[in-house]
Amino acid sequence: MSEHRGHRIRIVVGVTAAFLLLGAVTTVAIGWGAVTFGGLGAINSQWDLFAGPEPGERPEGAPPPLAWPLRVPEGWPRVQGVSWSDGFGVRWDGGVGGTDTQTVITSVRAGWPMGALRWVDERVIDGTGAASSMSLRGSVRNPIATGSMGSWGWYAGSVPRDLPISPIWLGLAADVLVLAAGWAVLLLGGRAGVRVAVRARRRRRGHCEACGYEVGQGVTTCPECGAARETLEASSSPSA
Protein backbone atom coordinates (compact mmCIF):
# COMPACT_ATOMS: atom_id res chain seq x y z
CA MET A 1 0.00 0.00 0.00
CA SER A 2 2.66 2.55 1.07
CA GLU A 3 4.77 1.48 -1.87
CA HIS A 4 1.85 2.35 -4.13
CA ARG A 5 1.52 5.77 -2.50
CA GLY A 6 5.25 6.37 -2.83
CA HIS A 7 4.96 5.63 -6.52
CA ARG A 8 2.15 8.17 -6.90
CA ILE A 9 4.12 10.84 -5.01
CA ARG A 10 7.09 10.26 -7.31
CA ILE A 11 4.83 10.70 -10.33
CA VAL A 12 3.34 13.94 -8.96
CA VAL A 13 6.81 15.32 -8.13
CA GLY A 14 8.11 14.31 -11.54
CA VAL A 15 5.19 15.83 -13.43
CA THR A 16 5.42 19.04 -11.37
CA ALA A 17 9.16 19.30 -12.05
CA ALA A 18 8.54 18.73 -15.75
CA PHE A 19 5.94 21.51 -15.87
CA LEU A 20 8.24 23.89 -13.96
CA LEU A 21 11.03 23.12 -16.41
CA LEU A 22 8.63 23.74 -19.28
CA GLY A 23 7.62 27.03 -17.62
CA ALA A 24 11.26 28.08 -17.23
CA VAL A 25 12.10 27.24 -20.85
CA THR A 26 9.01 29.14 -22.02
CA THR A 27 9.91 32.15 -19.84
CA VAL A 28 13.34 32.42 -21.43
CA ALA A 29 11.95 31.73 -24.91
CA ILE A 30 9.33 34.49 -24.61
CA GLY A 31 11.80 36.99 -23.15
CA TRP A 32 14.57 36.35 -25.64
CA GLY A 33 12.06 36.10 -28.47
CA ALA A 34 10.63 39.49 -27.54
CA VAL A 35 14.13 41.02 -27.42
CA THR A 36 15.10 39.41 -30.71
CA PHE A 37 11.96 39.93 -32.76
CA GLY A 38 9.82 42.39 -30.79
CA GLY A 39 9.80 46.12 -30.84
CA LEU A 40 9.38 48.93 -28.41
CA GLY A 41 6.34 51.14 -28.62
CA ALA A 42 6.21 54.89 -28.21
CA ILE A 43 8.86 56.29 -25.90
CA ASN A 44 7.60 58.10 -22.83
CA SER A 45 9.71 60.62 -20.98
CA GLN A 46 9.45 62.39 -17.67
CA TRP A 47 11.75 64.99 -16.19
CA ASP A 48 12.21 66.01 -12.61
CA LEU A 49 13.33 69.64 -12.49
CA PHE A 50 13.70 69.48 -8.74
CA ALA A 51 16.12 66.59 -8.65
CA GLY A 52 19.42 68.46 -8.51
CA PRO A 53 22.77 66.92 -7.70
CA GLU A 54 22.07 67.61 -4.04
CA PRO A 55 18.78 66.39 -2.70
CA GLY A 56 16.96 69.57 -1.69
CA GLU A 57 13.57 70.53 -0.41
CA ARG A 58 10.89 69.84 -2.94
CA PRO A 59 8.71 72.92 -3.48
CA GLU A 60 5.13 72.57 -2.46
CA GLY A 61 3.04 71.29 -5.33
CA ALA A 62 6.02 69.79 -7.12
CA PRO A 63 5.27 66.50 -8.83
CA PRO A 64 6.44 63.38 -7.03
CA PRO A 65 10.03 62.27 -7.63
CA LEU A 66 10.72 60.03 -10.57
CA ALA A 67 10.18 56.39 -10.03
CA TRP A 68 13.48 54.95 -11.15
CA PRO A 69 13.78 51.22 -10.56
CA LEU A 70 17.54 50.83 -10.62
CA ARG A 71 20.34 51.63 -8.23
CA VAL A 72 22.46 54.58 -9.36
CA PRO A 73 26.22 53.95 -9.10
CA GLU A 74 28.14 55.53 -6.22
CA GLY A 75 29.14 59.12 -6.94
CA TRP A 76 26.70 59.61 -9.81
CA PRO A 77 24.23 62.49 -9.84
CA ARG A 78 20.66 61.58 -9.23
CA VAL A 79 18.55 60.58 -12.18
CA GLN A 80 16.75 63.67 -13.47
CA GLY A 81 15.07 62.31 -16.53
CA VAL A 82 13.58 58.93 -17.21
CA SER A 83 12.28 57.37 -20.37
CA TRP A 84 10.60 54.07 -20.86
CA SER A 85 8.92 52.05 -23.50
CA ASP A 86 7.58 48.58 -23.82
CA GLY A 87 6.37 45.95 -26.20
CA PHE A 88 5.06 42.46 -25.60
CA GLY A 89 7.47 40.68 -23.25
CA VAL A 90 10.06 43.45 -23.20
CA ARG A 91 10.51 46.77 -21.42
CA TRP A 92 13.20 49.37 -21.73
CA ASP A 93 14.05 52.00 -19.11
CA GLY A 94 16.50 54.85 -19.50
CA GLY A 95 17.65 57.30 -16.86
CA VAL A 96 19.90 60.34 -17.21
CA GLY A 97 21.55 62.70 -14.73
CA GLY A 98 24.15 65.47 -14.77
CA THR A 99 24.54 68.46 -17.09
CA ASP A 100 27.75 68.82 -19.16
CA THR A 101 28.82 65.32 -18.39
CA GLN A 102 25.84 63.06 -18.44
CA THR A 103 25.40 59.81 -16.68
CA VAL A 104 23.11 57.40 -18.46
CA ILE A 105 21.64 54.14 -17.23
CA THR A 106 19.75 51.90 -19.57
CA SER A 107 18.06 48.65 -18.71
CA VAL A 108 16.16 46.10 -20.72
CA ARG A 109 13.85 43.71 -18.95
CA ALA A 110 12.35 40.75 -20.71
CA GLY A 111 9.74 38.20 -19.77
CA TRP A 112 6.03 37.76 -19.60
CA PRO A 113 3.83 38.55 -17.69
CA MET A 114 6.58 40.15 -15.58
CA GLY A 115 10.17 41.09 -16.32
CA ALA A 116 12.30 38.04 -15.51
CA LEU A 117 15.71 38.75 -17.05
CA ARG A 118 17.56 42.00 -17.55
CA TRP A 119 20.71 43.69 -18.56
CA VAL A 120 21.94 47.06 -17.29
CA ASP A 121 24.20 49.48 -19.11
CA GLU A 122 25.84 52.38 -17.29
CA ARG A 123 27.87 54.99 -19.09
CA VAL A 124 29.29 58.48 -18.59
CA ILE A 125 29.09 60.71 -21.66
CA ASP A 126 31.16 63.90 -21.81
CA GLY A 127 30.36 67.13 -23.62
CA THR A 128 31.60 65.82 -26.96
CA GLY A 129 29.12 62.95 -26.85
CA ALA A 130 31.79 60.32 -26.35
CA ALA A 131 31.31 57.74 -23.65
CA SER A 132 34.22 57.94 -21.21
CA SER A 133 33.23 54.89 -19.25
CA MET A 134 30.90 52.06 -19.95
CA SER A 135 29.67 49.08 -18.05
CA LEU A 136 27.31 46.54 -19.49
CA ARG A 137 26.14 43.82 -17.15
CA GLY A 138 23.99 40.78 -17.57
CA SER A 139 23.90 40.57 -21.32
CA VAL A 140 25.14 38.32 -24.05
CA ARG A 141 25.44 39.28 -27.67
CA ASN A 142 22.39 38.27 -29.65
CA PRO A 143 23.48 35.74 -32.26
CA ILE A 144 20.40 36.36 -34.43
CA ALA A 145 19.57 40.05 -34.23
CA THR A 146 22.21 42.74 -34.10
CA GLY A 147 19.98 45.72 -34.85
CA SER A 148 18.17 47.92 -32.38
CA MET A 149 14.81 47.66 -30.71
CA GLY A 150 14.15 51.37 -30.80
CA SER A 151 15.93 54.69 -30.92
CA TRP A 152 16.81 57.06 -28.20
CA GLY A 153 19.22 59.96 -28.26
CA TRP A 154 20.87 59.28 -24.91
CA TYR A 155 21.91 55.84 -25.70
CA ALA A 156 24.09 55.96 -28.77
CA GLY A 157 20.87 56.33 -30.72
CA SER A 158 19.42 52.93 -30.06
CA VAL A 159 18.61 50.12 -27.67
CA PRO A 160 20.52 47.01 -28.74
CA ARG A 161 18.98 43.57 -28.88
CA ASP A 162 21.52 42.04 -26.51
CA LEU A 163 19.99 39.10 -24.69
CA PRO A 164 19.38 39.67 -20.96
CA ILE A 165 20.64 36.92 -18.64
CA SER A 166 20.64 38.57 -15.22
CA PRO A 167 17.67 37.25 -13.23
CA ILE A 168 15.02 39.40 -11.59
CA TRP A 169 14.11 36.74 -9.05
CA LEU A 170 10.55 37.75 -8.20
CA GLY A 171 9.53 38.21 -11.82
CA LEU A 172 11.35 35.05 -12.86
CA ALA A 173 9.55 32.98 -10.23
CA ALA A 174 6.18 34.50 -11.15
CA ASP A 175 6.66 33.90 -14.87
CA VAL A 176 7.81 30.32 -14.40
CA LEU A 177 4.82 29.54 -12.17
CA VAL A 178 2.29 31.23 -14.45
CA LEU A 179 3.61 29.57 -17.59
CA ALA A 180 4.00 26.17 -15.90
CA ALA A 181 0.37 26.43 -14.78
CA GLY A 182 -0.59 27.38 -18.33
CA TRP A 183 1.14 24.28 -19.71
CA ALA A 184 -0.51 22.13 -17.04
CA VAL A 185 -3.98 23.41 -17.95
CA LEU A 186 -3.28 22.98 -21.65
CA LEU A 187 -1.76 19.50 -21.53
CA LEU A 188 -3.60 17.90 -18.59
CA GLY A 189 -6.86 19.58 -19.62
CA GLY A 190 -6.37 18.42 -23.19
CA ARG A 191 -5.70 14.88 -22.02
CA ALA A 192 -8.79 14.88 -19.81
CA GLY A 193 -10.84 16.27 -22.69
CA VAL A 194 -9.67 13.51 -25.03
CA ARG A 195 -10.53 10.90 -22.40
CA VAL A 196 -14.04 12.33 -21.94
CA ALA A 197 -14.58 12.36 -25.71
CA VAL A 198 -13.37 8.77 -26.11
CA ARG A 199 -15.67 7.54 -23.33
CA ALA A 200 -18.62 9.43 -24.79
CA ARG A 201 -18.07 7.85 -28.19
CA ARG A 202 -17.78 4.37 -26.71
CA ARG A 203 -20.99 4.98 -24.78
CA ARG A 204 -22.84 6.10 -27.92
CA ARG A 205 -21.72 3.00 -29.79
CA GLY A 206 -22.73 0.71 -26.95
CA HIS A 207 -19.15 -0.27 -26.20
CA CYS A 208 -17.57 -0.59 -22.77
CA GLU A 209 -16.52 2.89 -21.65
CA ALA A 210 -13.48 1.57 -19.81
CA CYS A 211 -11.85 -0.60 -22.46
CA GLY A 212 -13.84 -0.09 -25.68
CA TYR A 213 -14.90 -3.76 -25.93
CA GLU A 214 -18.12 -4.24 -27.86
CA VAL A 215 -20.66 -5.52 -25.35
CA GLY A 216 -24.24 -6.46 -26.03
CA GLN A 217 -27.33 -4.52 -25.02
CA GLY A 218 -28.45 -4.81 -21.44
CA VAL A 219 -25.14 -6.18 -20.21
CA THR A 220 -24.25 -4.59 -16.88
CA THR A 221 -20.67 -5.85 -16.59
CA CYS A 222 -18.08 -5.79 -19.35
CA PRO A 223 -16.99 -9.38 -20.12
CA GLU A 224 -13.59 -8.13 -21.24
CA CYS A 225 -12.43 -5.94 -18.35
CA GLY A 226 -15.14 -6.42 -15.74
CA ALA A 227 -16.05 -2.75 -15.54
CA ALA A 228 -19.59 -2.04 -14.39
CA ARG A 229 -21.71 -0.37 -17.06
CA GLU A 230 -24.00 2.30 -15.68
CA THR A 231 -25.14 3.85 -18.93
CA LEU A 232 -27.52 1.30 -20.36
CA GLU A 233 -30.00 3.95 -21.44
CA ALA A 234 -27.39 5.96 -23.29
CA SER A 235 -26.10 2.84 -25.02
CA SER A 236 -29.55 1.87 -26.20
CA SER A 237 -30.24 5.19 -27.93
CA PRO A 238 -27.71 5.71 -30.74
CA SER A 239 -29.36 8.98 -31.81
CA ALA A 240 -26.59 11.15 -30.35
By CB under 5 A, name the binding residues for Zn ion.
208, 210-211, 213, 222, 224-225, 227
Comparison of 188 and 198: residue with beta carbon closer to Zn ion: 198
Q: How far is the CB of 208 from Zn ion (least distance, A)?
A: 3
Comparison of 136 and 228: residue with beta carbon closer to Zn ion: 228
Comparison of 118 and 202: residue with beta carbon closer to Zn ion: 202
Q: How far is the CB of 218 from Zn ion (least distance, A)?
A: 15
Q: How far is the CB of 192 from Zn ion (least distance, A)?
A: 20
Comparison of 93 and 209: residue with beta carbon closer to Zn ion: 209
Distance CA 152, CA 198 (A): 57
Distance CA 189, CA 19 (A): 13
Q: How far is the CB of 188 from Zn ion (least distance, A)?
A: 24
Distance CA 160, CA 100 (A): 25
CB 107 within 8 A of CB 119: yes
Q: How far is the CB of 215 from Zn ion (least distance, A)?
A: 7
CA–chain centroid gap for 179, Å, is: 7
Comparison of 82 and 222: residue with beta carbon closer to Zn ion: 222
Nearest alpha-carbon partner for 208 in 234, 186, 187, 183: 234
Distance CA 114, CA 137 (A): 20
